[in-house]
Amino acid sequence: MLAHLLLGNVRDCAGFKLKRILIIDDVEDRAAWLKASLELAEFDVVGVLGWEQVNERSIQDASADVIIVDANAPGRDTLEQISLMSSTLEKPVVVLSASKDQHSIQEAMKAGVSAYVAHTIKSEDLRGIIHVAAARYLEHKRLRDELKEAKSLLAERKMVDRAKAILMTDHGYSEPDAYSRMRNMAMNRSKRMIEIAEAIILAKELSN
């Protein structure tokens, strides 16, 4: 029931898909079992890589929706690769690990892991684990995007304030007049306020 609800939520998020799975594991027998179990659960396994084969190109070529990593205790190099997968390539990453060490788990989560499973799993667990990982990934991505947008808006506001200050100092405008002139200029030239602000600041810097 939980897996069904999570799957519905994930499908509602910008067409996010879950079918294509990339496996990263150096142990052939374990990778083979995982591949067979995923295919039995009607997932498409698009590749099985050892860690020496992992790089940005190999992951992009696989075009996976979700990446499953099997690592006993992710080391620094492994965590760097996971961070690349999660942030740069924007993929949910699931780590299946025999390590229950809290430090390893915390470091993996910081690196962008969407789900860290520190216990033996059965084939019937995989669908639920993947759905939970995808849902968590989408939520974290939404929060990251909102934070990025907020920082961008704050930076733009500071630039506009700086440009207003230049107009007020150099031309004696009041703050409302300076803002009004910038807004009118933006409208007349079909520009954004930040573009007008940048032009004013650049002109000031060139005149010094």
pLDDT per position as a tens digit, 52-74: 888 878 888 888 889 898 876 56
Residues 183 and 129 in one domain: no
Strands 115-117 and 66-70: unpaired
Beta bridge partners of 63: none
Give the chain's largest Cα–Cα span.
Answer: 76
Residues 35 and 125 in one domain: yes
pLDDT at 98: 59
CATH number at residue 169: 1.10.10.10
pLDDT band at 12 (very low <50, low <70, confident <90, very high): very low
Q: Is the dihedral of CA 12, 18, 24, 29 positive or negative?
A: positive
3-class DSSP assignment, residue 46: strand
Residues 109 and 172 in one domain: no
Range with the lowest mean pLDDT among 5-9, 37-41, 192-196?
5-9
How many domains does the chain divide into?
A: 2
Examine the fold and report which residue of 146, 171, 195 is the final residue of a domain before the chain moves on.
146
Q: Which domain holds residue 182?
A: 151-207
pLDDT at 169: 94
